[in-house]
Amino acid sequence: MNVDVTTALTDAIIVAGQGPALEELFTILTEAGLPAERVVDLIEAEGQIEERGRALLVLFAASPVDEALRMVTRLRKSLNSATLPIVMLVAKGREELMVRALEVGTDDCLEMPAYAPLAVARVRALLGRLRDMAEGVDQRQRFDLVVRGAGDGIWDWRLTDDTVYFSPRWRELLGYQPEDRFSAMDDWLALVHPEESETVKRELRNHLEGISLAFQVECRLRHKSQSYRWFLIRGTSQRDPYGHTSRMAGSLTDISERKLTDPMTGLPNRIVLYDRINQAIIKTRRRKNSSFGIILLQIDRYETMREAYGQSFCDNVQRVVALRIIGILRMTDTLTVMSDTTMCILVDVMREDTDLVRVAQRVRSAAEEPISLGEESVMLTLSIGMAQGSSQHVGADEIIKDATAALNKARQSGAGHEAVFDPDMQRRARDRLRIEADLHQALRREELRVFWQPIVELGPNRLAGFEALLRWEHPTRGLISPLEFIPVAEESGLIVPIGKFVLREALRQGRAWHEAGATQDLFVSVNVSSRQLDSPDLVEAVTMVMSEHPVPAGCLHIEITESAVMRDVARSQDVLKQLKVLGCHMALDDFGTGYSSLSLLQRLPLDYVKIDRSFIAAMSGEFAGESMVGAIIQIAKILRLTVIAEGIEAEADEFKLRTLGCQFGQGYRYGKPLPAVQWQDVLFANRRLGVAQ
């Protein structure tokens, strides 16, 4: 019977049995204002108690003794002390009867005849004590209901003896039975995943020492099945007046679903991926003929799509792509989400080495179909990197690193490409990172050098200027080729400060040459990369350096590539016009290899075009090459642009170019890039540069 004892305890006090002592007690209770009821027959009293369904205090007469004791025994089997307090009247001198009554479940005994104030006080005290007990039971029941509803496990740690109470739900969450030994905090801490163990201990220590007001941490705990699940552990402590913690209690919440799922797509996340890859590695070690692999997928031009349509649109696109991919995967394959733009497929069972490529091709066919969302429609491409797993892989990180290297190679090839990992990729990636790290130090350590290659006026073979070319004198590797470190500088953004260094050094050297007596029209030419052209302070940087090292107007030539201009034609046009105002001459480098049109050449404030060396090399092989160079020169003349031919090495090439009307030339025929000091004699002896120096 489960009733609200806090309100029903004093509803009725049944005085049951026969005898003058009972009549006397009934009178005492009634005069004290207690709700006493008189029932003579014990059987009737027992039936009334069971039918009324509310808490009662029952007083039994001491005679007949056996019948009263049997009744107490029967009631105690169906009701507990919180819902049915029982007091038995006993004649004075019958201590053995009191003992028997208490043994069968009586709550208290009164000696008769009773002293009225004492009887009333003991009845009231019993009611008060039982009411407090009933309230405690009610609170525990309410607490148990809340805990069961929340699904949390409860723990209670008594620090005085290092004992911990773990609720049944706590054990259930971790798969343990009541008989499994868990009684100390160390038993629990032993279940924490090694990667989070120190974090949990630190947070627990911080709370015990009063550094944090509450203890809260997310970690993995080892289930009895030996798998790990994610939990949120929360707790707070009870402290003595001196601030020392004597007790700590809290909850355990299973957050595996939230922790292991991508909130946007509902797919497993990288935590699941790492776990399943590690399991696949273990399986590969056990079964020699077992093989697996992973495929990294990245949506191309994601940032452009986000700028055009917003993040919500991109999220919906990824959901569509994910659903399409799931539709073509096998049951054994796992699709996981690693980021906004990147997903990964674990191909858990591979029969042949080509399985990865086959899966990738099916994925591409499904994902790259047009996607229509609302009024918008987009056509996606994917960059794909693949890596095959082996028993030699120590963990998931290694194979993901391999697949990432393949993905980077695919992206470098352009949108919509794919690549399979080979060990050289990893070596190249390490080399690139090493170069980037060293390049950061190169500027500070003054390891960068500017070399100079002459530009010659072809008619009189007169030295007209120099192009500033960057070189890196590494302290241990010697002179490093620009082809090796310039792309790294471009990708990392280091090209911007490096470009400022080259610009400053070029103008400093140009001014030194002019002050030493070089002709006033001698120019220095500096390359400006796409990153520099995009930089908002390019014009400001050129202005500052020109004020530090002033040279005659037109003596600074700025070289830009077609690809750099095409990134943002309108902005490039504006920047070049501002540089033109400063007195710079502008040259379009590598002309003929990009995408520029005649209309673009007309819009840009150019003075020179530089014919790429590949066209010059083609002149010696076929007539079409010479015709192409001639056409470029004629177009430049129509647009009133001066032409500089790069890569001249042979006298025959020089002759052809002069015949075709090319005004300037540059190449090994006139000299390799050298430090400034090695050009002093040529510069001031005014020597003709018709042979290699």
Please give the share of the chain, as a percent, with pLDDT higher than 90.
25
Residue 425 clears pLDDT 50, i.e. is over it: yes
Ramachandran angles phi, psi of 379, nearest 5° = -115, 115
pLDDT for residue 662: 94
Q: Are strands 371-373 and 342-347 parallel, antiparallel or unpaired?
A: unpaired
Residue 81 clears pLDDT 50, i.e. is over it: yes
Q: ∠ CA(244), CA(245), CA(250), 5° rounding?
A: 160
pLDDT for residue 1: 36
Q: Which residue has the higher pLDDT, 19 or 628?
A: 628
Helix axes 423-445, 482-492, angle to 10 degrees: 80
Spatial distance between the Cα atoms of 692 and 377, rounded to a whole number of angstroms: 59
Highest mean pLDDT among 174-183, 214-223, 373-382, 390-399: 214-223
Q: Say whether 156 sits in a helix, a strand or coil.
A: strand
Spatial distance between the Cα atoms of 239 and 185, rounded to a whole number of angstroms: 18
Q: Which residue has the higher pLDDT, 123 or 558?
A: 558
Res. 693 pLDDT band, cuts 50 70 90: very low
Q: What is the pLDDT of residues 245-276, one digit of tens each?
A: 889 999 999 888 787 788 778 888 888 888 88
Query: 280: which 2 tokens?
Result: 């696949």
- Going along 356-504, which residue ranges are E strands? 371-373, 376-378, 382-388, 418-420, 448-457, 462-474, 478-480
pLDDT for residue 691: 46
Spatial distance between the Cα atoms of 2 and 298, rounded to a whole number of angstroms: 62
- In sequence order, the β-bridge partners of residue 164 are 157
Looking at residue 536, the DSSP 8-state letter turns out to be T
Mean pLDDT of 351-358: 77
Ramachandran angles phi, psi of 163, nearest 5° = -110, 140
Q: Are strands 163-166 and 153-158 parallel, antiparallel or unpaired?
A: antiparallel
pLDDT for residue 667: 93
Q: Say whether 263 sits in a helix, a strand or coil.
A: coil
Spatial distance between the Cα atoms of 185 and 232, rounded to a whole number of angstroms: 16
Give me the amino acid identity at 5.
Answer: V
Q: Let me know: does 10 contact 123? Beta carbons within 8 Å.
A: no
Helix (H) or strand (E) holding 249: strand 245-254
Helix (H) or strand (E) holding 124: helix 116-150
Q: What is the pLDDT of residues 531-541, one digit of tens each?
A: 899 888 899 99
Query: 612: which 2 tokens?
Result: 């790429």
Spatial distance between the Cα atoms of 18 and 54, rounded to a whole number of angstroms: 24
Q: Let me know: does 226 contact 279? Beta carbons within 8 Å.
A: no
Q: Among the listed ranges 134-148, 232-246, 442-456, which one has the minimum average pLDDT value?
A: 134-148
Mean pLDDT of 501-522: 91
Domains and CATH numbers, the chain: 5-147 (3.40.50.2300), 151-259 (3.30.450.20), 270-421 (3.30.70.270), 495-671 (3.20.20.450)
| Burial class of 398 by CB neighbour count within 10 A (0 to 12, 13 to 18, 19+) | middle
Mean pLDDT of 126-148: 68
Q: Rounded to a whole number, what is the distance in angstroms from the first to the last CA of the chain?
A: 111
Computed over every residue of the chain, the mean pLDDT equals 84
